[in-house]
Amino acid sequence: MIVNPHEKGWEIIYQQAHALLAAEIGFAWQTEKRPLHFLQTLAAIAQHDDGQRDLTGRYALTPAGAPANFTQLPFCLEQAQQVMQEARFQGRWRSLLTSMHLSFLYEELRGQKKLWDDFLDEQLASQKKWRHGLKIKKAQAQYAYDFMQWCDRFSLILCRNELPEMERALEISNGPDQIRYEATQLKTGTVRVSPWPFQEKQVALSVEARCLTQLQFSSDQELSSALEQAPITRKEWLLQKE
């Protein structure tokens, strides 16, 4: 989950909803710079968080009883394996991009535990096997993953309310074209992305969020029940070319 402080308590966005927003961002990308297997790439982006633990898992709450943001959770090998297990049913391309995403997230853990190292080694070996089977170059796969990572990063910026005030620019990251992109929240409420990476002059985006007025919970089950009953709002953004 993405957990944002809110004036009434907590704003919760499921990671799967954030992933769908990332896919919507990717769908708007300029046609001539789209990666290989564009539709399959969008599917990989939209589903890259599938396989996450549900709210009955033991990591849903902080020690203080607050909803745990995904950044507060330790690495879970079982969860990473489940993510890959679900990806394989949609083929090698989604498996390749999902595996590259796990390498990007967790390669820094190498050397801490043998089981983790074995998993990371397995990802690198599988990526090579899938590239060979798909008859694509490593650079082509990297371009597609950089596209996926850029969309994921921009979606997180929006979902986590990270755009600064007073029209200050925030770096999104380098895109797959290695261009540095920035986002700016304008006083009008629209968001400017520079340089403009999308096909149309305006892009409307949205994601569903839930508002919790209860600050602490005694159990994961209590949190799960509260989320099921929480009012749903829609966070919206209008991206506009300069």
* Model confidence pLDDT, tens digit, residues 172-220: 999 999 999 999 999 999 999 999 999 999 999 999 999 999 999 988 8
For 220, the token pair is: 């994961």
Looking at residue 59, what is its pLDDT? 47
Two tokens, residue 51: 């396989």
114-161: per-residue pLDDT in tens?
A: 999 999 999 999 999 999 999 999 999 999 999 999 999 999 999 999
Please report the pLDDT score of residue 55 as a whole number.
Answer: 41
Distance, in Å, from the CA atom of 116 to the CA atom of 97, rounded to the nearest integer, reads 19
Cβ(151)–Cβ(18) under 8 Å? Answer: no
pLDDT digits (tens, 9 = 90+) for 33-52: 999 999 999 999 998 776 55
pLDDT of residue 213: 94
In order, the DSSP letters of 199-237 are: SSSEEEEEEEEEEE-----SSHHHHHHHHHHS-EEEEEE
pLDDT at residue 53, as a whole number: 53
Nearest to 8 by CA among 211, 217, 207: 211
